[in-house]
Amino acid sequence: MARRQRRANRDAELEVLHNTIQNASQRPEEEDQDGPQGEIGNLMQMLAALQQPKRQIKAPIYNGLGNIETYIRQFTDVANANDWSPADRLLHLRLSLTDKAQECGEFNNLEDIWEELRSRFGLNQKQARDRLSTLRRAPGMSIHELGMEISRLTRLGYPNMAVPDQEDLALDRFQAIMNNVELRRYLTPLRPQTMRECLRLSEEFFQVDQGPRPTKVTAVTETPDVVMETLKDLQNVITQQAAEIQTLRQQKQTPAPVTPPLTAAPGQPSLQDLLMASLASSLANPGTKPSQDRQKRPGPPACYHCGGPHLKRNCPELRQPINQPAAVNQRQPAENYSGPTQ
């Protein structure tokens, strides 16, 4: 029915143009100048354009794979370019659905088919709103991907909302997900109006914030070496003593007789080397002490009891006579003990 109406309207327009051209061609020659001739040429071009059949664009096919929102946008653009009526759109959409998506074409309304396709192969309004409210930035997701996902979910969840309101809602959700106080302070005076502008400013902010930072040098604490510290102290003491001796010599004083330092014979280690080796061994084994030889007394041992030439345990005065019985340690009964009970 719609095709018949369009054909009738086109035939009426062609007839009007044909009559206008005939009337213009039948005017007298005085009036047939540049103006009328130009008008006739324009009318002839319009008539030729209307007589040529308009080329139809084929609708895209959808089999359930791919982004459903991209397919809906492509189909809508093709329908607008071909000037299809609602009935023609429904017919072409049913013919364009194949495989798993073919079952969604059972509805008699175009919007119901879109809603069914979104439910099965995409997101409907309720699902988009729920996902927008629980959306978080996944590991590895860039700022641009996050912003585009927020804009897509906002358009799906609130299709009847005005475009400026959708942008404001998407921007608020973006800042809530980022949860960055410095970024919020940076974007507040700039007042971005669209998500693309907000993403551009956010990327600039993070590029400046993540610039080269000064390297912090941490002081390294070394564990002191006990042996080296002791050797250094010993060297300082020797140097100080040498300086004092040199000072006394310069003042030409007569110092007290000092025992000359021991000098090692040729081929033997010096005293300083022996001291250093002894110090190193004592520091290597701090729990051990140098063994000292016991001093032995000359002559026989002396008893500490009688002073005789024997040990105290062999002293004859402390020995008990053989014929004297040994004292038996018997327990004396108590005074109030009455003996066993009869």
Share of the chain above pLDDT 90, in %: 19
Residue type, 184: R
Q: Given pLDDT bands bounded at 50, 70 and 90, which one contains residue 30?
A: very low
According to DSSP, the residues that pair with 97 across neighbouring strands are 62
For the segment 9-18, the average pLDDT, to the nearest whole number, is 70
pLDDT (tens digit per residue) in 282-295: 666 655 554 544 45
221 has a pLDDT exceeding 80: no
pLDDT (tens digit per residue) in 133-177: 999 998 989 999 999 999 989 988 898 899 999 999 999 999 999
301 has a pLDDT exceeding 80: no
Q: Specify the higher pLDDT residue, 39 or 238.
A: 238
pLDDT (tens digit per residue) in 90-104: 999 999 999 888 888
Helices (H), the chain: 2-25, 34-51, 68-82, 86-96, 110-121, 125-133, 143-157, 163-178, 181-187, 195-209, 226-250, 271-284
Q: Which of 97, 92, 156, 95 lies closest to 129, judged by CA?
A: 156
Q: What is the pLDDT of residue 293?
A: 47
Contact at 8 Å (CB) between 17 and 50? Answer: yes
Q: What is the pLDDT of residue 286?
A: 56
Q: Given pLDDT bands bounded at 50, 70 and 90, which one contains residue 314?
A: confident
Based on the number of CB atoms within 10 Å of its own CB, is 340 exposed (0-12), middle (13-18) or buried (19 or more)?
Answer: exposed
* Domain ranges (residues) in the chain: 2-51, 68-122, 126-209
Q: Write phi, then psi, for 97 (nearest 5 degrees).
A: -85, 130
Largest CA distance in the chain: 187
pLDDT (tens digit per residue) in 252-292: 655 555 555 555 555 666 667 777 777 777 666 655 554 54
Q: Taking all residues of the chain, what is their mean pLDDT, rounded to a whole number?
A: 76
pTM of model > 0.85: no
Structure-block tokens of residue 71: 């397919």
Residues counted in the chain: 342
**Beta carbons within 10 angstroms of residue 307's beta carbon:** 9
Residue type, 142: S
Contact at 8 Å (CB) between 12 and 4? Answer: no
Residue type, 150: I
Contact at 8 Å (CB) between 89 and 79? Answer: yes
Highest mean pLDDT among 167-171, 259-263, 315-319, 323-327: 167-171
Q: What is the pLDDT of residue 13?
A: 72
